[in-house]
Amino acid sequence: MKQWNIDIPIQPLAAPDAGNEYYQNLEPRTQLLRKGSRPHNAKALSCDILVEHDYCFQVRDGAKLYADIYRPANSEEKVPAIICWGPFGKKFNGLQSLKLMTPWNLGVQTQEALSGLEKFEAPDPADFVPRGYAIINIDSRGAYDSEGVMAIMGTQEAEDGYDVVELSAKLEWCNGKVGLAGNSHLAIIQWFIAALNPPSLAAIAPWEGCGDLFREQFGRGGIYGGDLFDGLIVKYMLKGRHGMESFRQMYEKHPLANEWWNDKRPDMKKINVPTYITGTWSNTMHGMGAIRGWREGATDKKWLRFHGTQEWYDIWGNSNSVNELMNFFDRYLKDIDNAWESTPRVRLSLLRFGELDPIENISVADFPLPDTDYQQFFLAPEEKLDPQAMSDGTPQSISYDSTNPSSYASFKHKFSSRTAMAGIPKAVLHMSCLDTDDMDVYVILRKLSASGAPLLSLNIPWKGIPPNSVSEIPQDKRTELILYTGAIGVLRASHRKIDASKSMHENWPYHPHDELEKITPNKIVRLEIGIWATGILFEAGESLELRIGGSYPGIANFGTNDHSLNVGQHTVHFGSNHESHLILPIVNL
């Protein structure tokens, strides 16, 4: 167990309550689910499934972690195990989560697509068990009846995962090969476990996995971003008997990246097992982790697919995705020669916004694309983004009220021909403020119609929901789950320091967040703001708008503006010796 040089704050969790989230009191037992039955009045089972409820795995420090194991009944052939690792309750399923948390079930035809045996954000045993797999749905340390204090990611959870992988491989029904699968938390943990290289781990499939909990979620840009996690996940979804490590309290005590925060960043260069990675442009947390996993993973057996839909739809509602995942595991957990290696190594999607579905499964050589044209667009007068720097050198500036969400600086570029943008953008801004010694700066790239109207992109297929246009979507259903505003970048000015040796790409600067560099009021500072990767197709006459402001510009925040340090006006400087500009990854697709 890792020892810390700092005190780790612990916060309480609500205790599990029998009957809620399908939780049942701890009762180790076996159950046979018959072919043709509908355990949750949803999809019928296509084979008999043996369930071992509350199977106990005891890890190296003695803590007992409990799992439900779904495997073929009456099978003499040993099968591989796929572990779905997470804290949300091994019986809290997709049927319930979609109903409770999403508009229109995200377009997933739940009664046909899901059996209810699937753990939240995990593959469905009803799909995998008939294919000859065991699915192990485990409650991680501190979750529900699993022992210990809940530790979200980092060394502790990785070591637990290592132990469960090795214990699973030794079970009498297992063929000795273990995989990891799942979305979000269930994906992020795969980076950590795989980096420890358990000998029996044969393949991982991180479906949308953040790669750095400080820099991509809880302290993105140096600003606390855990309010959604605190208000929804901790309050309503996480249950346990021993409390959990507190991100909020840690940030309050240690707002800079200390040893605990940096332990929440996996070393992806140590991952050497076959890896199938997915990502979306529209998720506010996971996309950059998918890219770093692709770029830094040590294996030559890795695949990356950026799709054009929301992650839960992709893992549950897209039958092609389910089949691909099974083919991947067939190759590396069963050694079936199924030509999986002929699958394109990198596939992208391009979002078209409005009522148009994305263009998906575009095969490319690498990511970012090797022949990307990184075009600079300079901030210019009359709210323009100009490919040419200002020739006369006249200093220019524009200001906005940093505390007013509707106040921002705007710069636009109209495309004269069809243009594809796919990759990692970056904004380089020269800024100042008069009234304080720090600034929280947010940028967003908006797509505008030919008439200049801001557009939104639907994250799920139009055919799966009642509305036929964005304008028909009711206000109470306009959430970040189904609508994408555009790629966002965030930076607190005092955190502007960059360690280029750790930057995975020059447009995604690595901020160590290890010291504060306060600004002098009214003095201009240069900010490099990495913008979340994106893929957008612009038709001739459509425009890109860069907005710069002091408030989070998305539909629903990964945090809130409650933690802002902003006061008064911010000023963006351009022209003269302060050539503020936007770098766009333009590609030929």
- Nearest Cα neighbor of 84 from 122, 51, 52, 127 is 122
Beta strand 134-139 pairing with 79-86:
parallel
Query: Tens digits of per-residue pLDDT, 362-390?
Result: 999 999 999 999 999 999 999 999 998 87
Note the pLDDT of residue 558. Answer: 54
pLDDT, greater one: 164 or 110: 164
Note the pLDDT of residue 443. Answer: 97
Give the C-alpha distances (Å, rounded to integers) separating 544 from 339, 410, 415, 541.
41, 10, 8, 10
Query: Tens digits of per-residue pLDDT, 137-154?
Result: 999 999 999 999 999 999
313 pLDDT higher than 90: yes
CATH architecture of the region 373-587: Sandwich (2.60)
The total number of residues shown for the chain amounts to 589
160 pLDDT higher than 60: yes
Place of tokens 């799909």: 127
71 pLDDT higher than 90: yes
CATH code of the domain occupying 10-343: 3.40.50.1820
The helix/strand count (H/E) of the chain reads as 12, 28
Which two tokens mark 223? 């600003």
pTM for the model stands at: 0.95
Note the pLDDT of residue 557. Answer: 54
Query: Tens digits of per-residue pLDDT, 78-97?
Result: 999 999 999 999 999 999 99
- The ranges of the chain annotated as CATH 3.40.50.1820 are 10-343
Note the pLDDT of residue 55. Answer: 98
For 511-572, give the secondary structure using H, E and C: CCCCCCCCCCCCCCEEEEEECCCEEEEECCCCEEEEEEECCCCCCCCCCCHHHCCCCCEEEE
Residue 157: φ, ψ to 5°: -70, -35
Mean pLDDT calculated for residue range 246-253: 94
The number of C-alpha atoms within 13 Å of 54 and in the hemisphere containing its C-beta is: 11
Note the pLDDT of residue 214. Answer: 94
Note the pLDDT of residue 3. Answer: 80
Note the pLDDT of residue 1. Answer: 65
556 pLDDT higher than 80: no
- The ranges of the chain annotated as CATH 2.60.120.260 are 373-587
pLDDT, greater one: 392 or 487: 487
Mean of the per-residue pLDDT values of the chain: 94
Helix (H) or strand (E) holding 52: strand 49-58
Place of tokens 């992806």: 268
CB 482 within 8 A of CB 458: yes
20 pLDDT higher than 80: no
The strand pairing partners of 429, in sequence order, are: 527
